[in-house]
Structure 1
Amino acid sequence: MTFNPLRERGIPLDRQLRNWRELNVTPIDPDNADPYTRCRIIAMNGIEVEGIMFSHQFARHCPDLELKRQLARVRYVEAQQQKVVNWLLPGLASVLETTLAYEQVAVDLTAWVARMEPDPYLQQAYEFGVLEDFDHLYRYANLYEMIEHRKAEKVVDQLTEVMPGRPTYLHHRDPVDNVREPYDRSSAAPISKLHALTIMAAEQQTMNFYMNVGPEYMEPIARQLYQEIGLIEEEHVTHYESLVDPGESWWEMLLNHEYNECYLYHSFMETESDPRIKAIWELHLNMELEHLRLAAELFKKNDGRDPEEVVAPELPVPVTFEPNKEYLRDLIATQIDYTTLGTGYVQEAHERFEKMQAALMGDERAPSERVIQENRDKSGVEYRLETAGPHPVGSLRLDR
């Protein structure tokens, strides 16, 4: 059945405020919940955080007092939504367990988006990024085994493989080489705009998470690994945010944000395995339908166009968390040695890349390399699943 969120009516805004009892949701069980339920929670939290921060930025550039008030009303409701979603995560889970879940989101969400993306240039951007998040999962898995003496496959439930991707120390590039060409807002497929917003928001959330939780560890290697990967997540946000056409007006950006929230809540409602969490996705969808209606009215009034000129007249196929093992193995086999040069990709090191590597690391081994050796020394083995094959890094592996 087709679903056009522009034609649906949600809960009126003045009925969307919730009291403390309603906000006090019971978290998921860290040991028995579907790992992809946790992934949906983490992804949706990132989407809500992006929506809130975008609304704040809009308000800071808006001279219209009444519009600022409307943004504030909607934003407060979305702040309540964000609290409900993020508070579904269990307090019993350690920071490292949550980190592994964050990287599972990055791997399987980005891989799914890459598979579904119709634009070859945008698809390449997602394929490039996912091989780096794939390796982050592997590095944190070694840290998890070393500190908590547990296997990451328990957290990801073997839905996502834990094995080397593009080596993390090779992700440090000259910042100018992280900037991509944007899509063209006048010709890009509506789904491409949603994909770009979704992955940008997910990576932004991961960047913020690592910036804040990294210093909470006492172990030097843990602090250093979070610092290193946190810097790479900043690169990834630059990579993905540059895909969005900067020519979009504030009204168009607002419309795309609200439409994307409807799309993702609807997707997760359709694919959720936990009935209790599914009910939360459905409730929030009905709230977001009203937020979208308000954004569409502002767009028509201020941009003078019909919203259906910008967004799809019906929701695309649902975003789905599912295993992407074969797809990722194919990318490892064919793109492991890619790096960036300007707005494109190359398979050999270049002067800017080598200069950045030398300036950042000099003669020192990166924390992402040392964590493997330290875990091997402590545990007797390097953490990786038995199914992991050879690691074909190609011409980009520098002598460490």
Structure 2
Amino acid sequence: MGFNPFKEKGIPIEKQTKPWVELNVKPYDSSTVDPYTRLRGILMNGIEAEAVQFYHNFHRHIDIPELRAQLATLRRIEQQEQKMVNWMIPAEESTLQVTIGYEQLAVDLTAALAQAEQDPYVKAALDFALLEDFDHLYRYANLLAMTDEKKAESIVKQFTEIIPGRPTVIEHCHPVDTVRNFTDRSKTSAQTKLHIETIIAAEQQTMNFYMNIGNRLADQNGRGLYQEIAQIEEQHVTHYGSLTDPRASWFEMAVLHEYNECYMYYSCMQSETDDKAKGVWQMCLENELTHLQTAAEIMKKYENKDPEEMFPDSMPEPIVLKPAKEYVRSILSSQLHYTGDKTKMVPLNMSESQDRYQTFLTTSNDDFAPSQKVVQDCINSQGEDYRVETEGPHPADILLSRRDIPDQKSLLEFCKNR
């Protein structure tokens, strides 16, 4: 029998409130930290922030005083956990350095989920956005190369390549082409539901991060880059958020959120190499076991349903963050030319929405895109763009050169002819 969070014993809720001295954790050492310890912290910050936001919305849509009080208690502990996890990041890391971590997480997490995903449509959604986040890492790394003594390779180490993905300048889709089909919760596996919950939380946290810190850069083009990529993150949250079944009740969603927190903290524990961080994951897991069991009792009381029927007898295999260079390159080779077409993700030459897409691109970019300029500026100042190519030259001919960048028109022609 594997790990079943409904059966495990957690910390009683009345013993979960922590004093400030325990919450205000000592940050990791950015010069020695394992990159995946950093990424697990960013990921679990997003998972916790999603839980807090969910419970606020749940609270606003019910009129049962006893239940509102229970949710307030759960929400307060989730807030504590979020602060503890997020405070692991040291102040010495600049906004842009932290951003490199966010995008490395987006790449390696999405790749991990996609490789484990068995639903073809959900996997296609993951692969589609993977190439866009991969390009964001490249754009931010070029900005960092011009503005900071610390280079992106010192942050991502040897684990993640930094080369162009689907260029950000052609990622901008009309909003109607970012809404996907929702999954049927009565037929979808628990593992798929957990994958969707996880990627929504991670992408939403990235969107929120950029919404709030993009104006902290002094460089005008850097500010523009955050604006542009933040708009793509909005697309991604819509893209992934569409996959959830809107017919689920608040009680079902609460149980799923809590189960996913248990699943992700359990996953973090399985691969964590830092004893201090592992202790945080274990403590939070023990808290979340109680939260899940509380949410389960609430569902039984108010809906007369057994939440354990939603899940297998033991958790799915843990999600482990690890290098995914070969997988990313395989998707880059086969799907660089894809775009959104209503609920589909298709090659541009097969899209029924080409005119709408190109009109929206022209309006958005208006002959200028910060994501293009930041790379051109790097080429102008350093003679070539910034890359970390560990697996050979770029698989797409149009993106091979390090001394010039293809414009929007050339990129669209390339995509149409694939």
Structures share a fold, TM > 0.5?
yes
Corresponding residue of 2:368: 365
Is 1:391 matched up with 2:396? Answer: yes
3-state SS of the aligned residue for 2:348?
Answer: coil
Secondary structure of the residue that 2:340 maps to in structure 1?
strand
- State the TM-score, normalized to the length of structure 2: 0.93
Structure 1's 125 and 392: CA in aligned 2 closer, same or farther, altered over 3 A?
Answer: farther
Q: How far off is 1:302 after superposition?
A: 2.1
In the alignment, is residue 22 of structure 1 matched against residue 27 of structure 2? no
Aligned position for 1:234: 234
Residue deviations 1:171-192 (CA, integer Å, cap 9, x gap) = 1000010000011010000011
Q: Is the 8 A contact 2:173 2:360 kept in 1?
A: yes
Alignment-mate amino acid for residue 284 of structure 1: C
- Taking the TM superposition and a 5 Å limit, the aligned residue runs for 1:313-328 are 313-328=313-328
CA distance in 2, matches of 1:13, 1:392: 57
Name the residue aligned to 2:406: none
Farther-moved stretch of structure 1 (6-15 vs 380-389) = 380-389
Report the counterpart of residue 403 of structure 2 in structure 1: none
After TM superposition, give the deviation of residue 19 of structure 1 in Å.
0.5
SS at match of 1:397: helix
Amino acid in the other structure paired with 1:389: H
Identity %: 49
CA contact (8 A) 1:333 1:392 kept: no
Amino acid of the residue matched to residue 377 of structure 1? Answer: N
CA distance in 2, matches of 1:314, 1:190: 11
CA offset at residue 150 of structure 1? 3.3
Residues 227-248 of structure 1 show CA distances to partners (whole Å, capped at 9, x for unaligned) of 0000110000000000000000
Amino acid at match of 2:224: Q
Cα distance in 2 for partners of 1:255, 1:237 equals: 21
Q: What are the ranges of 5 or more consecutive residues in structure 1 without an aligned counterpart? A: none
**CA separation in 2, counterparts of 1:341 and 1:385?**
32
Q: List 4+ stretches of structure 1 deviating above 4 A.
A: 392-396
SS at match of 1:333: helix
- Describe the shift of the 1:396–1:131 C-alpha distance in structure 2 as closer, same or farther (beyond 3 A): farther
State how far apart, in whole Å, the 2-side matches of 1:99 and 1:141 are: 9
Mapped to 1, the partners of 2:301 and 2:395 lie a distance apart of 58
Per the TM alignment, residue 49 of structure 1 is displaced from its structure 2 partner at its CA by 0.1
User: What amino acid sits opposite 2:317 in the alignment?
Assistant: V
Q: How many residues align?
A: 399
Residue of structure 1 equivalent to 2:251: 251
The equivalent residue for 1:8 is 8
1:273 counterpart residue number: 273
Which residue in the other structure is 2:377 paired with? 374
Question: Displacement of 1:398 after TM fit?
Answer: 3.1
**Contact in 1 for aligned 2:332/2:395 (Cα 8 Å):** no
Residues 69-148 of structure 1: pairs in structure 2 closer than 5 A: 69-148=69-148
| 1:351 to 2:355 alignment | yes
The equivalent of 1:63 in structure 2 is 63
**C-alpha displacement at 1:393, in angstroms?**
5.9
Task: Calculate the TM-score normalised by the size of structure 1.
Answer: 0.97
Quote the offset at 1:121 in angstroms. 0.4
**Please, which runs of 5 or more residues in structure 2 have no aligned partner?**
400-408
Amino acid paired to 2:134: F
